[in-house]
């Protein structure tokens, strides 16, 4: 199976990106993690993206905060799909990163998830890889079915507790 490349602009993004590791591990998707910065180590970032397809990657996830051009910079150097996670670092709560990740000019797309949306980034990466992998497709479907089951359970619990909650 092709790997997911998870690139962080800084090791300070790790607490956000951790959810992507957990989700990919749970789905049995192999991944590699690197810290490359579009402004502090641009040569290394571009070199990774240029060689990614040849090195067995199928999707790249790029997480960065502030003026987060990392995802776009990687996308410029590869035709693999790039998923951007805008991180809520800095003083603007991630809105700066959201806009600089999602507002890519035409021609070089970045599939942008929510601010700090590492879990969705991982699920989307798995869904892309699952197009060519029936077993992974099944595991993604099972993950979604599990989510559905949990919500149904919560509703059942709510029906049991609602009188007590309203009385409180
Ligand atoms: C971005 O700047 C990183 O992705 C991080 O979210 C933010 C701050 O980086 P550090 O100063 O903590 O290394 O490049």
- What pLDDT sits at residue 138? 98
Ligand 1 atom with minimal separation from the 8 CA: 4
SS3 state at 58: strand
The Å distance, Cα 129 to ligand 1 centre, comes to: 28
Residue nearest to atom 7 of ligand 1 (CA): 65
Other beta carbons within 10 angstroms of residue 99's beta carbon come to 14
Q: Is the CB of residue 89 below 6 angstroms from any atom belonging to ligand 1?
A: yes
Supply the pTM of this predicted model: 0.95
Predicted pLDDT at 168: 84
* E strands in the chain: 3-8, 31-35, 57-65, 82-87, 111-112
**CA–CA gap between residue 62 and residue 38 (Å, rounded):** 10
Ranges of the chain whose pLDDT falls below 50: none
Token pair 């997480």 in the structure block, residue: 63
Residue 87 alpha carbon, nearest atom of ligand 1: 6
């Amino acid at each position: 199976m092709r790997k997911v490349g998870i690139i962080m602009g800084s090791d300070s993004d790790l607490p956000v990106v951790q959810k992507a590791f957990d989700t990919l591990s749970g789905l049995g998707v192999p991944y590699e993690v690197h810290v490359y910065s579009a402004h502090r180590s641009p040569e290394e970032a571009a070199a990774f993206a240029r060689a990614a397809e040849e090195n067995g990657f199928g999707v790249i996830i790029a997480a960065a905060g502030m003026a987060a051009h990392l995802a776009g910079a990687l996308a410029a150097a590869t035709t693999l799909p790039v998923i951007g996670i805008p991180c809520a670092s800095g003083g603007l709560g991630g809105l700066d990163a959201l806009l600089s990740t999602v507002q890519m000019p035409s021609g070089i797309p970045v599939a942008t998830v929510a601010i700090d949306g590492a879990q969705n980034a991982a699920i989307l990466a798995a869904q892309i890889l699952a197009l060519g992998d029936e077993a992974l497709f099944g595991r993604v479907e099972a993950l979604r079915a599990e989510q559905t089951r949990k919500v149904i359970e919560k509703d059942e619990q709510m029906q049991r507790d609602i009188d007590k909650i309203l009385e409180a």
